[in-house]
Amino acid sequence: MHDDNSHDQQPRPASAGAAGDQLAQSERQPTGMPAVEFRDIDIFYGKFAAVRDFSLAIRKGSFVTLLGPSGCGKTTILRSIAGLVDISSGQISIGGKRVDDIPIYKRNIGLVFQNYALFPHKNVFDNVAFGLKYRNVPKPEIVRRVKKALDMVRLPGSETKLPSQLSGGQQQRIALARAIVFEPEVLLLDEPLSALDANMREDMRVEIKKIQRETGITAIFVTHDQEEALSMSDHIVVMNAGLIEQIGSPAQVYDQPATAFVANFLGKANMLPGSVTVMDGKMAMIALASGHVVKVAAPKALATGSAVTVVVRPQKLTVGTAGAANRLAGRIVSTSYLGGNAVYEIDIGAGTLVRANTLIDGQPLREGEAVDVCFGPLGCVLLDAQGLRIA
Amino acid sequence: MTKGWKLYDQRLAWILVAPVLLLLILLLLLPIAMMTVYTFFTFVTAGVESAVLTFDNWKEFLTDSYYHGFLWKTVRVGAITAVICAILGYFPAYFIWATTFRHKWLLLLLLIVPFWISFTIRTFSWIHILGEQGLINVVLIRLGVISEPLPMLYTEGAVIMGLLHFLLPYMILNVYVSLESIDRTLIAAARSMGCTSAQAFREVTLPLSMPGLGAGLLLCFVLAAGSYVTPQLLGGSRDALFGNLIYDTIMGQLNWPMGATLSIVLFVLLGAAAAAYSRYMGLSQIMKGLSA
């Protein structure tokens, strides 16, 4: 279950494992202090381990997303940076300085909450100016910086309004302005989009990302929404049950899921269990439980008879004629028409259902139709019996 | 008969409201109206009044400083009680709100427990604590701290003490309910922006709990200023409040027209306090506190 990266990355933050390589590659400055660093964090609530063995180094100015289902520990980690949750062991550093014993109000972090958490009895100006007031910024400077922050979130002139006079999206912009106005070392975003409706959410996604780029602030974003994570992040930390499953760029975690959990959680990949029948050079012939034999590129020689799972994204499956290497005969169980493309659920025998997401050429196929599902040997990932990616 | 009735029919609404409306009219508005009429009756002699209309009762109330003294004293005792209640009540309310104790309902239950004992008996109990042969004096004399019993009972202090005992739960519940409605992430937000917990209390918790504090103040003031039993049992003759004055005028002097006048005065005074409060805070807060 446990990805190597979370252990091995720790002593050599920028060079261990695939995720570490990626961190190093994408870093513009060759070296530098990580903006936020976690070392071996454990967080217990009584006997319940909310987070275990959490190690992560976050480059300055990057946008890192903690992604996972509810209860995976992502919010707990976020709150531990803010000092709202005490860590049981390990250490957290912000800008190279240990903060474990620094009280929350001295940590200099910006926090954006899911429910906005604007002060209902204060107007927009007093809300945004709050952090500046407690940093002893002189009054004219406060006025100037509040104005700048409100311009940045595209709500200029709203100083005298009360939060209750603003829409949900506007309130979240004010909350964002309030969190960045005092130029914190880290911006923490705790599922800030989940209370917004779908259209607003997409706008805010773009806007948050834009503001983060412009200000160059280090941002840590918590979400359970894989689309948000994939579209906004420089790096994604996929968590499950208190442990890190994988750390990597959006493309890495999507295309090369390290574990069965990641493959499933991001984009519901097809998981086809089977066993290796024979190696043919770099190709493995795999007998699937559904009765088909498929040819899949293997990163290394696999022992005959070893149990593997073939992971294929729905987008990598074609339905019908294409002359791809692997062709599985099946019958369409359900069709979801999505405009330009369609998602088919196809029964390929022995109770195995696969999902194919394909462009529609002409009419979408109908339920009950017999079709062939095809995929090439290169677009898949192989997992071993423990559910870890074979690399 | 039920033909053509809609689910939210106006007629149905009136039928459902009618019993309560009838009760309010019969038992509240009508008696008040009758009392108002009485204030204009002529007092002949004890127990006898004639229906000759006059402004004499109102003239007497407005000109006689005897009544003004009682009015002022009542407002003062009510205000002092309410303010002390607010100061003493905020802390337990805050504690119950802030505690991580798993069985909060037990703490809230403790607030309700006194109501299981008759209010009159609870008031009587103070006689055994504050009286000349009461707990405090006996202990102090036995210890040799004092030689003469301290005069504590039958003073204004004893009256206020009794009122505090009676009214504190109302204050605590009101403050607690308004604290409970505060979103705790607001406090986390304030702290993350640089507030110590004391500053976060001043910036967020206190202002957002003001409606509850205000409701508690109003409730305690109205109940204290309208009290009758407590000053009767714990106060001396000089410590009577307006309620005792009304009782004395009606039951002692048998002067019903004057008694009615004084009753209307108290009614208007307390009504005005409630109206002023609802104008600025909204009465719904009190309802929340009472139904907690």
| Per-residue pLDDT, B284 | 59
User: The CATH number of the domain where B85 resides is what?
Assistant: 1.10.3720.10
What token pair was written down for A347? 């029964």
Mean pLDDT value of segment A56-81? 93
Residues 6+ apart with CB under 8 A from A326: A292, A294, A295, A296, A374, A375, A376, A377
Q: Is residue B39 part of a domain?
A: no
As to burial, measured by CB atoms within 10 angstroms (0-12 exposed, 13-18 middle, 19+ buried), residue A344 is buried
Report the first-to-last Cα separation within chain B, whole angstroms: 41
The reply to whether B129 touches chain A by the CB within 8 Å rule is no
Mean pLDDT value of segment A12-31? 40
Q: How far is A343 from chain B (nearest CA, A)?
A: 41
Out of B194, B199, B208, closest to residue A121 by CB: B208
Q: Is residue B73 part of a domain?
A: yes
Interface ipTM above 0.90: no
> Could you tell me the pLDDT band of residue A19, with boundaries at 50, 70 and 90?
very low
The reply to whether A120 touches chain B by the CB within 8 Å rule is yes
Q: Does position A238 have pLDDT exceeding 80, yes or no?
A: yes
Q: Which one has a higher pLDDT value, B188 or A324?
A: B188
**Residue A340, SS3?**
coil
| Contact flag A105-B189 (C-beta cutoff 8 Å) | no
B135-142 helix and B119-130 helix, angle to the nearest 10 degrees: 20
Q: Is residue B18 part of a domain?
A: no
**Residue A141, SS3?**
helix
Q: Is residue B140 part of a domain?
A: no
Q: Is residue B95 part of a domain?
A: yes
| Contact flag B185-A113 (C-beta cutoff 8 Å) | yes
As to burial, measured by CB atoms within 10 angstroms (0-12 exposed, 13-18 middle, 19+ buried), residue A29 is exposed
> Could you tell me the pLDDT band of residue A29, with boundaries at 50, 70 and 90?
very low
Q: Does position A43 have pLDDT exceeding 60, yes or no?
A: yes
Q: Does position A23 have pLDDT exceeding 50, yes or no?
A: no
The reply to whether A121 touches chain B by the CB within 8 Å rule is yes
Q: Using alpha carbons, select from A297, A262, A236, A285 the residue that is nearest to residue A387.
A: A262
Q: Which one has a higher pLDDT value, A46 or B35?
A: B35
Out of B192, B195, B204, closest to residue A82 by CB: B192
**Residue A238, SS3?**
strand
Mean pLDDT value of segment A173-181? 94
> Could you tell me the pLDDT band of residue B291, with boundaries at 50, 70 and 90?
low
In chain A, what are the domains? Answer: 4-108+185-264 (3.40.50.300), 268-383 (2.40.50.140)
For chain B, the domain total comes to: 1
| Contact flag B188-A82 (C-beta cutoff 8 Å) | yes
Q: Which residue has the tokens 């004293």?
A: B73
| Contact flag B194-A135 (C-beta cutoff 8 Å) | yes
Q: Is residue B257 part of a domain?
A: yes
Out of B185, B188, B193, closest to residue A130 by CB: B193
Mean pLDDT value of segment A244-258? 93
Q: Which residue of B has its CA nearest to A176?
A: B189
CA–CA dist A21, A26 (Å, integer)? 9
> Could you tell me the pLDDT band of residue A321, with boundaries at 50, 70 and 90?
low
Q: Is residue B11 part of a domain?
A: no
| Per-residue pLDDT, A250 | 95
CA–CA dist A370, A359 (Å, integer)? 18
| Per-residue pLDDT, A241 | 92
Torsional sign, CA B3, B4, B9, B14: negative
CA–CA dist B36, A34 (Å, integer)? 80
Q: How far is A378 from chain B (nearest CA, A)?
A: 49
Q: What is the pLDDT of residues B133-170, one digit of tens each?
A: 899 999 999 998 888 888 889 999 999 999 999 999 99
Residues of the domain holding B62: 51-113+168-290
Q: Does position B38 have pLDDT exceeding 80, yes or no?
A: yes
**Residue A354 bridge partners (DSSP):** A346
| Per-residue pLDDT, B282 | 64
> Could you tell me the pLDDT band of residue A330, with boundaries at 50, 70 and 90?
confident
Q: Is residue B162 part of a domain?
A: no
The reply to whether B206 touches chain A by the CB within 8 Å rule is no
| Contact flag A117-B194 (C-beta cutoff 8 Å) | no
Average pLDDT of chain A is 86
Rounded to two decimals, the pTM is: 0.79
